[in-house]
């Protein structure tokens, strides 16, 4: 008997567009992974794989619940609700119960030391008991005590799809038919106490039965056909078996709500009356073919969890509206670019050896807290089955409405010029792009300071460039790079183009501003040999130039730094070798990050290094790399995967966006780009109220500004140097005591120029 519960305070979920506090996280989950819908007295919930949309009935506001602000996990697999309780189940067996303003985590299924899968499939409420259908069996939860009361195993394979109580008898649907036992029968954890339902046609006795529902005096269940569109529904009434005559196209959920039976289908919402006749049907939502995972009836309207429309309310097919769908098209993310507040995400992806995944997610843009999705449903130029695996994106910093999409597919390079629609597609006929194995592979793209677009494309000349006037050029990267896979591209402050290859190393190139004249081109290849680059591996996956001009290089087997590029092209043996950072750990000299697979490197406004790895999460290191500032993993943070694919920073806000194999997340940090003019210094929260216990943020300063915080009498209570353009203050004095209530002045002055600023903070204790 479990006699312990874990209570989590139900934090107010953030609204999209709200100012993130320091170290606040966001999981940018997608409605396309809709799981289901549930209703309580106060809320309507739509569950997706990585988060929940919460609609308040009282004030009609929408919020988001994720593992960053109350939920305990990722991978939602089931949701249901009754009275003032909502319950959420996860693929790993975890359970969250929402009651009023409290979320209770019940992790006992997840923590059970049993083999096999534990996914939660559905729930059934019976007063204080909640029956939980899982792949581990039928689990009975005493909600009043938050205890697992028992687990039943109706047959040899313990997996249970759904559960209901019909005429005081428990019925469960499984992959091998329907099993039943009286709910008061003892020893139901013994399979011999259960009966196999055989009074149905023989083809159903051992078939995959999915949904199961009690509807008045009828037991309704569905056969999950392996053939798309051929699911079927049946019911038992007074002991008689009857097929439903108007089978849904693809049944996703059955629910009895408001005295009616509802079918949620890939095709719409069907309302079934007590005579098992369809009396109402909605086949379109938001003007699109409906893909509904769950439906209910509230306040004279039908509510749906729809893969395309999100949370939708409707009175009929022609009168419906979207309640919330402001999310990326999919949870997939691979590469990111951010310019002046515009976040662009490539939603495709490749396998570990750069083969296609054939993902049709397209590209997502976040601007002014609104997501815009570019895919086969919104753009005629993106064709399903032809335009897959978008793996690189670029935003023109001189015009953030100009966007570039590159893929590994049969489509060429795509360009948006108005921020909304694809206007040009470049291929082998109108550009220097090369086609490889019947597809165009554009692995990276960057704009230089003159507005030229540079990109990497496997072929004889893997480096390509298009001028603002639309003139194309191509450049050799040396004989070793021909027909090799270029993985990443960097344009540094000196105009060098750096290309990391899968099996060549790191190649630096400079055209010296003469695109038509190759005679003055400069080229240098860094390889693993000492004296010729000293890289840990020839598979170079990431690199970045820091504020001091150093090149930080991540490879498949470790990270090194090229501290000096003065002799990059003219130097001899050893003049362009990269070096690891050596640290002493317990008397032993070790390389920083050892032989980690370093997949992403980016530099923040404080010259700190953000390092992504394939299995160890994210590191934030001091400017010289010797000190660990932050370490984020799935174990100590809301990071949703330790396999990091890309990291980029919105330097206007300090928000760090992280692409992982499981989706896109972001965290607001204490480093943004400096502003030497101090033109937009902000302090938040301001005023600082008693309930605020987090940091106080001052933003919009010059790089490494001297900052002093004083009371109105001029007494210094705190002083520091900004990280980039940001300072955080914990509200304490230099002696560690909480500052008294009052008005405080922030004195900030540039260490490199004449800029300065005075801001004001009101502190209320």
Q: Do 1 and 148 fall within a single domain?
A: yes
88, 78 contact by CB (below 8 A): yes
What is the pLDDT confidence band of residue 351, given thresholds at 50, 70 and 90? confident
Q: Do 415 and 430 fall within a single domain?
A: yes
The pLDDT value given to residue 9: 26
Distances in Å between the Cα of 244 and the Cα atoms of 75, 171, 241, 276, 754 are 33, 19, 10, 7, 80
Query: Taking the CB of residue 737, how many other CB atoms lie within 10 A of it?
Result: 9
In a domain, 20, yes or no: no
| CA dist., res. 310 & res. 37, Å (int) | 11
* Count of domains for the chain: 4
In a domain, 346, yes or no: yes
Q: State which of 279, 298, 327 marks the end of a domain.
A: 327
The answer, yes or no, to whether residue 140 has pLDDT greater than 50, is yes
| CA dist., res. 412 & res. 426, Å (int) | 5
Q: Note every long-range contact of 317-321, with CB atoms under 8 Å and residues 24 or more positions apart, other chains counting.
A: 317/268, 317/281, 317/282, 317/283, 317/284, 318/284, 320/282, 320/284, 320/285, 320/286, 321/286
162-210, pLDDT tens digit by residue?
999 999 999 999 999 999 999 999 999 999 999 999 999 999 999 999 9
In a domain, 747, yes or no: yes
Q: Do 7 and 136 fall within a single domain?
A: yes
Residue 202 is inside which H or E element, if any?
Answer: helix 202-205
Distances in Å between the Cα of 580 and the Cα atoms of 503, 602, 762 are 20, 17, 46
DSSP string across 510-530: E-TT-TT-GGG-EEEEE-SST
Task: Give the pairing of strands 609-613 and 232-237.
Answer: unpaired
The pLDDT value given to residue 19: 58
Q: Do 334 and 275 fall within a single domain?
A: no
Q: Do 462 and 351 fall within a single domain?
A: yes
Interval 1-5 mean pLDDT: 27
Q: Three-state DSSP class for 434?
A: coil
Distances in Å between the Cα of 102 and the Cα atoms of 11, 69, 757 are 8, 12, 43
Q: State which of 152, 185, 213 marks the end of a domain.
A: 152
Q: Do 360 and 285 fall within a single domain?
A: no
Q: Do 344 and 470 fall within a single domain?
A: yes
In a domain, 35, yes or no: yes
In a domain, 530, yes or no: no
The secondary structure of residue 725, as a DSSP letter, is T
User: 310: domain CATH number?
Assistant: 2.40.10
425-441, pLDDT tens digit by residue?
999 999 999 999 889 99
Q: Do 336 and 423 fall within a single domain?
A: yes
User: 131: domain CATH number?
Assistant: 2.130.10.10
**Torsion (CA) 474, 475, 477, 483 in degrees, nearest 10:** 30
DSSP string across 203-268: HHHTS-EEEEEEETTEEEEEE--SSTT--EEEEEETTEEEE-SS--SSEEEEEEETTEEEEEETTE
Q: Do 305 and 337 fall within a single domain?
A: no
The pLDDT value given to residue 17: 37
589-639, pLDDT tens digit by residue?
999 999 999 999 999 999 999 999 999 999 999 999 999 999 999 999 999
User: 436: domain CATH number?
Assistant: 2.120.10.30
Comparing C-alpha atoms, which of 675, 674, 532, 699 is closest to residue 606? 674
In a domain, 186, yes or no: no
Comparing C-alpha atoms, which of 34, 50, 121 is closest to residue 661? 50
The answer, yes or no, to whether residue 115 has pLDDT greater than 80, is no
Task: Give the pairing of strands 177-182 and 195-196.
Answer: antiparallel
In a domain, 610, yes or no: no
- Can you read off the two tokens belonging to residue 358? 């054939």
Q: Give exposure, 256-271, as e/b (b: 16+ Cβ within 10 Å).
A: bbeebbbbbbbbbbbb
Q: State which of 475, 508, 543 marks the end of a domain.
A: 475
Q: Do 735 and 694 fall within a single domain?
A: yes
| CA dist., res. 693 & res. 152, Å (int) | 46
User: 748: domain CATH number?
Assistant: 2.60.40.4070
The answer, yes or no, to whether residue 586 has pLDDT greater than 60, is yes
| CA dist., res. 498 & res. 478, Å (int) | 13
pTM metric for this prediction = 0.89
Query: In sequence order, what are the beta bridge partners of 761?
Result: 744
Q: Which of 33-37, 449-453, 733-737 shows the lowest per-residue confidence on average (mean pLDDT)?
A: 733-737
Q: Do 371 and 293 fall within a single domain?
A: no
Q: Do 304 and 401 fall within a single domain?
A: no
In a domain, 470, yes or no: yes
Q: Which domain covers residue 455, as residue numbers?
A: 328-475
The pLDDT value given to residue 558: 97
273-306, pLDDT tens digit by residue?
999 999 999 988 888 888 999 999 999 999 999 9
| CA dist., res. 678 & res. 184, Å (int) | 73
């Amino acid at each position: 008997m479990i006699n312990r519960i874990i209570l989590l305070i139900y934090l107010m979920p953030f609204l999209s567009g709200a100012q993130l506090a320091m170290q606040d996280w966001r999981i940018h989950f997608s409605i396309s992974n809709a799981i289901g819908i549930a209703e309580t007295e106060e809320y309507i919930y739509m569950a997706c794989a990585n988060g929940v949309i919460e609609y308040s009935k009282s004030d009609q506001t929408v919020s988001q619940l994720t593992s960053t602000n109350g939920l305990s996990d990722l991978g939602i697999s089931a949701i249901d609700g009754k009275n003032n309780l909502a319950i959420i189940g996860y693929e790993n067996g975890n359970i969250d119960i929402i009651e009023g303003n409290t979320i209770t985590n019940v992790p006992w299924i997840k923590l059970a030391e049993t083999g096999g899968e534990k996914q939660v499939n559905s729930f059934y409420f019976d007063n204080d008991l909640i029956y939980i259908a899982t792949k581990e069996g039928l689990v009975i939860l005493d909600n009043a005590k938050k205890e697992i009361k028992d687990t039943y195993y109706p047959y040899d394979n313990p997996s249970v799809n759904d559960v209901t109580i019909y005429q005081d008898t428990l019925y469960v649907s499984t992959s091998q038919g329907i099993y039943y036992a009286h709910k008061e029968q003892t020893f139901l954890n013994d399979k011999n106490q259960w009966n196999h339902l055989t009074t149905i046609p023989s083809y159903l006795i051992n078939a995959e039965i999915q949904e199961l529902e009690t509807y008045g005096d009828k037991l309704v269940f569905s056969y999950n056909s392996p053939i798309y569109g051929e699911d079927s529904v049946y019911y038992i009434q007074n002991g008689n078996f009857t097929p439903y005559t108007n089978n849904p196209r693809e049944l996703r959920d059955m629910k009895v709500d408001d005295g009616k039976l509802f079918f949620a289908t890939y095709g719409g919402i069907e309302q079934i009356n007590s005579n098992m006749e369809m009396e109402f049907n909605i086949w379109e939502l938001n003007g699109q073919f409906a893909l509904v995972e769950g439906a209910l009836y509230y306040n004279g309207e039908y509510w749906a969890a729809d893969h395309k429309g999100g949370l939708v309310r409707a009175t009929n097919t022609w009168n419906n509206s979207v309640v919330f769908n402001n999310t990326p098209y999919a949870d997939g993310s691979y590469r990111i670019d951010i310019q002046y507040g515009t976040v662009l995400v490539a939603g495709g992806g490749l396998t570990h050896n750069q083969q296609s995944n054939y993902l049709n997610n397209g590209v997502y843009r976040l601007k002014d807290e609104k997501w815009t999705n570019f895919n086969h449903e919104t753009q005629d130029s993106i064709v399903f089955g032809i335009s897959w695996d978008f793996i690189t994106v670029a935003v023109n910093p001189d015009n953030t409405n100009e966007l570039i999409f590159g893929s590994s597919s049969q489509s060429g390079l795509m360009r948006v010029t108005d921020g909304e629609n694809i206007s040009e597609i470049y291929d082998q006929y109108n550009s220097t792009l090369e086609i490889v194995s019947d597809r165009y592979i554009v692995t990276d793209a960057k704009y230089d300071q003159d507005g030229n677009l540079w990109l990497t494309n496997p072929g004889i000349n893997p480096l390509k460039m298009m001028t603002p006037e639309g003139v194309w050029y191509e450049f050799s990267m040396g004989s070793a790079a021909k027909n090799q896979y270029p993985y990443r591209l960097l344009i540094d402050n000196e105009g060098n183009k750096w290309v990391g290859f899968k099996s060549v190393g790191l190649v630096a190139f400079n055209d010296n501003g003469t695109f038509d004249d190759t005679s003055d081109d400069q080229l240098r290849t860094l390889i693993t040999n000492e004296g010729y680059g000293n890289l840990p591996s020839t598979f170079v996956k990431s690199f970045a130039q820091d504020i001091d001009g150093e090149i930080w290089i991540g490879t498949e087997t470790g990270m090194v730094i090229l501290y000096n590029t003065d002799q990059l092209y003219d130097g001899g043996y050893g003049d362009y070798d990269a070096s690891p950072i050596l640290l002493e750990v317990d008397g032993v000299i070790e390389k920083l990050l050892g032989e980690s697979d370093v997949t992403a490197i980016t530099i923040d406004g404080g010259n700190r290094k953000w390092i992504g790895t394939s299995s160890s999460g994210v590191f934030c290191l001091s400017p010289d790399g010797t000190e660990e500032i932050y370490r984020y993993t799935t174990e100590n943070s809301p990071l949703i995967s330790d396999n990091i694919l890309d990291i980029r920073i919105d330097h206007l806000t300090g928000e760090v966006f992280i692409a992982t194999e499981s989706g896109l997340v972001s965290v607001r940090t204490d480093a943004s780009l400096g502003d030497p003019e101090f033109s937009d210094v902000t302090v938040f929260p301001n005023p600082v109220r008693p309930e605020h216990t987090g940091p106080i943020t001052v933003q919009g300063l010059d790089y490494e500004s001297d900052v002093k915080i004083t009371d109105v009498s001029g007494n210094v209570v705190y002083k520091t140097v900004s990280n980039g353009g940001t300072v955080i203050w914990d509200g304490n004095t230099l002696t560690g005591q909480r500052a008294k209530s009052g008005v405080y002045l922030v004195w900030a002055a540039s260490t490199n120029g004449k800029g300065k600023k005075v801001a004001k903070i009101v502190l209320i204790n």
